[in-house]
């Protein structure tokens, strides 16, 4: 039956907004039925349990990271409380707050079934702004302390720098979580920091060097010259020493020495190429470094001289040459009579007589005669410049000046050949250093070491008291210095370690007892790594990096100080909380 009072509903304009006063008498609305909970399927239940577990792990991780972020701030505050002149009661209160906090953290970990290293807390330690700042300051402190002794003992300075960094970082940022002798525990933390600092520096610098190689200036120069360095030679430092030590391992050592010998050979090739560069020549790839390579360089320059001198001639002396010889003779006039006489004999024998003879036939001097005069003047000058007598060295410099004036005379008389002659002279000067090194005692079939090459560079320096070499400006000294710093001092032998091992019966003894497969695998891997293809791959891996990877390597290297400070905290806690294990 319809409600008789529906006429009063809001639909009618006169009752708009008033509502129906009799709605209260309507039949009650049926109550909503409460649906019983639906049981989840096994899959849904497992998913919810996994989600709950992940939520718990996330909260647990956040809690650990948060504790780690706070640790360094507490450590600095506690250090200030003990170091500053404040009431002892305040210092005791700070110690108690930190100890109570550590008790709660460890109780929570035990309740969650955790033990051992708190990885999340360690992450927080590393990321803490206080730790980053302390690590940076400690790094500067370590660098300054190391720099104070670097001039006298660079190796000692390098050794102590990470120790000082780690100790200072740990002492500043690690809270003492047990009430007791604060300064004794702080000393333990400093010791743990020294260990962590050294370890972090080694690992951090190693990873940084691999990800973002920063080769030394010598290594960089050798690589640019085309020298094929071994991995240890490229990385330098500890890695080079480890590689050198591994040469004593049978099989593996032979492979390393093969790579080192190839590096020496490629250094020889680079030296010859640099000597021949002025004339645009290079040692062909099918010619191995050694005596054949030296002969190639000599023949190349000899042919070059023959070609250009066949196109030169000299039909007279100009005023510039005459004036230069007169000036040199005036200087020689200050030398003893014996040296003056030698100089005059050289001028008469090598200049006046040969020139007069050529001019008498109205033919002038041909290319071969010009070459002979220049070569003889150079030979005489070099001999006197190497003499122990000061007066003879002065005489040698004077004759060298005559030879230089004669070359300039020929260049002025043959301007179209002047540039080629100058290039040949520069190349010949470099070749003479190659020739001297290849002929040194101890060279292996003409293959010379960087030390032998450097000796040749010094010997060929004709400046007074070898001052050009002393200043590092001697011809080709940049290459000889780089090679001496990065490469072996002798040409490595091949097969020494393996022959020694076999001579001691290793082949029939230990190798026959199961070591042989591992020995073969290690040797094969080493030969693959140090083969020409392996060397090229390693060069790409160790020296070529995308920009992002290089930046990551730089960041890792820069982070070694704060990481050392962070690692000191768990190490210190271990020593302090486990005295029986010390």
Instruction: Measure the CA–CA gap between 73 and 58, rounded to whole angstroms.
Output: 24
Instruction: Measure the CA–CA gap between 153 and 314, rounded to whole angstroms.
Output: 61
Instruction: Measure the CA–CA gap between 566 and 115, rounded to whole angstroms.
Output: 19
Cβ atoms of 545 and 211 closer than 8 Å: yes
Three-state DSSP state, 314: strand
The whole-number pLDDT of residue 161 equals 54
Could you give the C-alpha distances from 292 to 133, 265, 272, in angstroms and in order?
Answer: 61, 13, 12
The whole-number pLDDT of residue 316 equals 81
H or E segment and range at residue 38: none
Instruction: Measure the CA–CA gap between 399 and 385, rounded to whole angstroms.
Output: 9
The whole-number pLDDT of residue 504 equals 42
Half-sphere CA count of 195, side-chain side, radius 13 A: 12
Total Cβ atoms within 10 A of residue 392 = 19
The whole-number pLDDT of residue 390 equals 92
Total Cβ atoms within 10 A of residue 226 = 13
The 3-class SS string of 254-293 reads: HHHHHHHHHHHHHHHHHHHHHHHHHHCCCCCCCCCCCHHH
Cβ atoms of 455 and 437 closer than 8 Å: yes
Three-state DSSP state, 523: helix
Instruction: Measure the CA–CA gap between 98 and 245, rounded to whole angstroms.
Output: 49
CA angle 450, 456, 457 (to 5 degrees): 85
- Rounded to a whole number, what is the distance in angstroms from the first to the last CA of the chain? 95
Cβ atoms of 132 and 562 closer than 8 Å: yes
* pLDDT tens profile 162-221: 555 555 655 666 777 776 778 877 777 777 666 666 666 666 666 665 555 567 888 888
Q: Where are the domains of the chain?
A: 65-212+545-582, 217-298+434-543, 312-413
DSSP code per residue over 232-258: HHHH-HHHHHHHHHGGGSTTHHHHHHH
H or E segment and range at residue 544: none
Cβ atoms of 276 and 428 closer than 8 Å: no
DSSP code per residue over 431-483: HHHHHHHHTSTT-BTTB--HHHHHHHHHHT--SGGGHHHHTT-STTHHHHHHH
Distance of CA 80 to the CA centre of its chain: 40
Could you give the C-alpha distances from 203 to 146, 198, 232, 553, 561, in angstroms and in order?
Answer: 20, 9, 16, 12, 11
Cβ atoms of 266 and 296 closer than 8 Å: no
- Per-residue confidence in pLDDT tens, the chain, 582 aa: 555 555 555 555 554 555 555 555 455 555 555 555 554 555 565 555 555 555 544 555 556 777 777 777 777 788 888 888 888 888 888 888 888 888 888 888 888 878 776 777 777 766 666 655 655 555 555 556 555 544 444 444 455 555 555 556 556 667 777 767 788 777 777 776 666 666 666 666 666 655 555 678 888 889 889 898 888 888 777 778 878 887 777 777 788 888 888 899 999 999 999 999 999 999 999 999 999 999 999 999 989 888 888 888 888 888 999 999 999 999 999 999 999 999 999 988 888 888 777 777 667 888 888 888 888 888 898 889 878 899 999 999 899 899 889 888 988 999 998 899 889 989 999 999 999 999 888 888 899 999 999 999 999 887 878 889 999 899 999 999 999 988 887 766 654 544 444 444 444 444 444 445 555 555 666 666 676 666 666 666 555 555 544 555 555 555 555 565 556 555 655 555 555 444
User: To the nearest whole percent, how much of the chain has pLDDT over 90?
Assistant: 20
Total Cβ atoms within 10 A of residue 28 = 5
Instruction: Measure the CA–CA gap between 488 and 256, rounded to whole angstroms.
Output: 12
Three-state DSSP state, 365: strand
Q: 396-424 burial by CB neighbour count: b if 16+ within 10 A, else e?
A: bbbbbbbbbbbbbbbbebbeebbebbebb
Cβ atoms of 568 and 170 closer than 8 Å: yes
Give the number of residues written for the chain. 582
Question: Is the alpha carbon torsion for 51, 52, 53, 56 positive or negative?
Answer: positive
The whole-number pLDDT of residue 538 equals 62
What percent of the chain is helix, strand and coil (3-state, nearest 5)? 75, 0, 25
Residue 371's nearest CA partner among 414, 407, 346, 318 is 407
């Amino acid at each position: 039956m319809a409600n008789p009072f529906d006429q009063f509903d809001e639909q009618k304009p006169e009752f708009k907004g008033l509502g129906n006063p009799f709605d209260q008498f309507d039949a009650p609305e049926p109550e909503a039925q409460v649906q019983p909970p639906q049981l989840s399927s096994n899959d849904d239940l497992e998913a919810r349990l996994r989600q709950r577990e992940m939520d718990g792990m996330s909260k647990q991780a956040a809690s650990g990271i948060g504790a780690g972020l706070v640790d360094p701030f507490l450590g600095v505050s506690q250090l200030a409380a003990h170091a500053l002149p404040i009431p002892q009661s305040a210092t005791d209160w700070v110690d108690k707050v930190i100890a109570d906090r550590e008790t709660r953290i460890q109780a929570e970990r035990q309740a969650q079934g955790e033990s051992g290293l708190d990885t999340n807390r360690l992450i927080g330690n590393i990321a803490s702004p206080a730790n980053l700042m302390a690590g940076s300051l400690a790094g500067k402190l370590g660098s300054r302390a190391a720099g104070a002794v670097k001039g006298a003992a660079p190796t000692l300075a390098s050794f102590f720098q990470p120790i000082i960094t780690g100790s200072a970082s740990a002492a500043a940022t690690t809270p003492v979580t047990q009430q007791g002798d604060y300064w004794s525990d702080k000393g333990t933390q400093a010791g743990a920091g020294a260990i962590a600092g050294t370890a972090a520096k080694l690992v951090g610098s190693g990873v940084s060097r691999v990800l973002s190689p920063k080769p030394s200036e010598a290594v960089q120069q050798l690589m640019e010259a085309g020298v094929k360095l071994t991995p240890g030679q490229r990385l330098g430092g500890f890695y080079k020493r480890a590689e050198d030590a591994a040469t004593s391992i049978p099989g593996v050592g032979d492979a390393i020495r093969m790579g080192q010998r190839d590096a020496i050979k490629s250094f020889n090739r680079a030296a010859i190429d640099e000597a021949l560069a002025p004339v645009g020549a290079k040692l062909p790839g099918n010619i191995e470094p050694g005596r054949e390579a030296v002969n190639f360089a000599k023949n190349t320059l000899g042919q070059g001289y023959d070609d250009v001198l066949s196109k030169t001639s000299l039909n007279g002396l100009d005023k510039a040459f005459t004036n230069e010889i007169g000036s040199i003779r005036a200087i020689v006039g200050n030398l003893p009579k014996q040296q003056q006489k030698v100089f005059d004999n050289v001028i008469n024998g090598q200049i006046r007589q040969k020139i007069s003879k050529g001019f008498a036939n109205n033919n002038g001097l041909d290319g071969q005669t010009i070459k002979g005069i220049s070569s003889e003047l150079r030979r005489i000058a070099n001999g006197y410049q190497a003499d122990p007598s000061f007066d003879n060295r002065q005489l040698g410099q004077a004759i060298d000046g005559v030879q230089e004036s004669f070359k300039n005379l020929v260049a002025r008389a043959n301007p179209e050949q002047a540039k080629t002659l100058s290039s040949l002279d520069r190349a010949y000067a470099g070749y003479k250093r190659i020739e001297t090194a290849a002929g040194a005692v101890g060279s292996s079939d003409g293959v010379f070491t960087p030390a032998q090459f450097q000796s040749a560079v010094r010997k060929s320096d004709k400046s007074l008291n070898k001052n050009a070499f002393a200043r590092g400006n001697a011809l080709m000294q940049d290459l000889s210095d780089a090679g001496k710093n990065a490469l072996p001092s002798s040409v490595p032998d091949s097969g020494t370690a393996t022959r020694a091992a076999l001579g001691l019966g290793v082949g029939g003894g230990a190798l026959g007892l199961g070591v042989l497969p591992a020995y073969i695998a290690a040797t094969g891997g080493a030969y693959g790594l140090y083969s020409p293809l392996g060397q090229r791959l390693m060069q790409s891996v160790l020296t070529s990096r995308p920009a992002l990877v290089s930046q990551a390597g730089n960041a890792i290297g820069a982070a070694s100080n704060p990481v050392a400070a962070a690692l000191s905290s768990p190490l210190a806690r271990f020593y302090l909380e486990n005295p029986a294990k010390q």
